[in-house]
């Protein structure tokens, strides 16, 4: 199991709109691609005094499945234009981690 982790930040006043874009469109759009080995996503949010940090975690069965999502350079951030317009800043790269012990139910 592999996770793809990415971070982006919005202004506090744009956070709700960005979150709704992720939950309502972007993450369901990833799921709709029917990528072999895609196992779902998680979204984390952390508010600061002037900006809000978002962390997305995409779960894949293997690094090959993550490459099917990310393409040849699967470390490059994949940010749709509508999302980029709301971001104050973001990481240019996504990081991949091997899951050594999955979360227990």
pLDDT at 15: 97
> What are the pLDDT digits (tens) for 25-83?
999 999 999 999 999 999 999 999 999 999 999 999 999 999 999 888 889 998 999 99
Report if pTM > 0.85.
yes
Q: Tell which residue, 9, 1, 4, has the closest CA to residue 71.
A: 4
pLDDT at 78: 87
Question: From CA 24, how far away is CA 13, in angstroms rounded?
Answer: 18
User: Quick check: 67 and 61 in contact, CB under 8 A?
Assistant: no
* Domains in the chain: ranges and CATH: 2-98 (3.30.70.100)
User: Average of pLDDT values for 92-103?
Assistant: 94
């Amino acid at each position: 199991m592999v996770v793809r982790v990415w971070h982006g930040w919005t202004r506090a006043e744009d956070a709700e709109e960005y979150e709704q874009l992720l939950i309502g469109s972007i993450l369901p759009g990833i799921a709709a691609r029917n990528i072999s080995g895609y196992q779902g996503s998680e979204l984390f949010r952390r508010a600061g005094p002037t900006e809000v940090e978002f962390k997305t975690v995409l779960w894949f069965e293997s690094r090959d499945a993550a490459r099917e999502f990310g393409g040849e350079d699967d470390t490059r951030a994949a940010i749709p234009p509508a999302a980029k317009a709301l971001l104050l800043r973001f990481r240019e790269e996504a990081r991949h981690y091997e899951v050594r012990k999955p979360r227990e139910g």
